[in-house]
Amino acid sequence: MMKIDVMTLFPEMFAPLNSSIMGKAQTDQILTFETHNFRDYAVNKHGHVDDTPYGGGAGMLLRIEPLVNQLEAIPGHDQARVILVDPSGQPFTQKKAHEWSQEEHLIFICGHYEGYDARIENYVTDQVSIGDYVLTNGELPAMVMIDATVRLLPQVLGNSESIVDESHQHNLLEYPQYTRPQNFRGDEVPEILLSGNHGKIEAWRKQEALKRTLLRRPDLIEKLQLSPSEIHYLTDN
């Protein structure tokens, strides 16, 4: 069973993670999930967890004491993977989600205000961002990363093949898919998908995945080890 703890000033924001796939994982005892409000470890009776930065500057920084005191109050924290949600961190990727899904215990620290006292970096194993933009706080990025990780746990999704063929699994975007009706306002399902020839269907899907990736995310193509036939196909398209 995986255990996930989240340190946050806004525990109520994580209510959606008790439904859908996350909720099922908890019901099925594949996952335990808990939030912790580090304001409980505020530095004074007014509940302050932030202060002005040394050297001046705009905004307020989260102080080190509430964060570390809350972290150390979480059972098993010294054996956990501790993830600081940080816009200056490394990019979150599907590969990282797979890596985290192999862990027994994850702890996410969600920031707020202008940032953290930098000494918190001495207590974490990962500093991760979901993109090159800044949000109001770290709760939404944490939810994104948690969802992407938990859905990779064994038995969380009913069909393991659905994970294998997903976008970004092999640095390729997923091929286009279709269902009924066969004809919608003159827009037909590709005939090859109706052929019953699984070999040709698989080849078509690989070509379409390559084409879609080239058009939408050409940066991913550079990471692929393409066969001569695949290179020829992309050159012609």
Q: Using one digit for the tens of pLDDT, what is the confidence trace for 106-136?
A: 999 999 888 999 999 999 999 999 999 989 9
Mean pLDDT of the chain: 92
Q: Judge if 125 and 194 occupy the same domain.
A: no
Q: For residue 126, tell me if it sits in a domain.
A: yes
**Tally of domains within the chain:** 2
Residue 56 known to bind ligand: no
Full domain range(s) for residue 227: 165-236
Q: Judge if 112 and 44 occupy the same domain.
A: yes
pLDDT higher at 157 or 52: 52
The answer to whether the CB of 83 falls within 8 A of the CB of 77 is: no
Q: For residue 90, tell me if it sits in a domain.
A: yes
pLDDT above 70 covers a percentage of the chain that reads 94
Instruction: State the pTM of this model.
Output: 0.88
Rg (CA), the chain: 22
Is pLDDT above 80 for 225?
Answer: no
Residue 163 known to bind ligand: no
pLDDT digits 0-9 by tens, 192-221: 999 999 999 999 999 999 999 999 999 998
Residue 59 known to bind ligand: no
Q: For residue 76, tell me if it sits in a domain.
A: yes
Residue 157 known to bind ligand: no
Q: For residue 156, tell me if it sits in a domain.
A: no
Is pLDDT above 50 for 161?
Answer: no
Residue 131 known to bind ligand: yes
14 CB neighbour count, 10 Å cutoff: 20
Q: Judge if 19 and 42 occupy the same domain.
A: yes
CA distance 65 to 105: 23
Residue 199 known to bind ligand: no
At 208, which helix (H) or strand (E)?
A: helix 198-216
Q: Judge if 88 and 181 occupy the same domain.
A: no
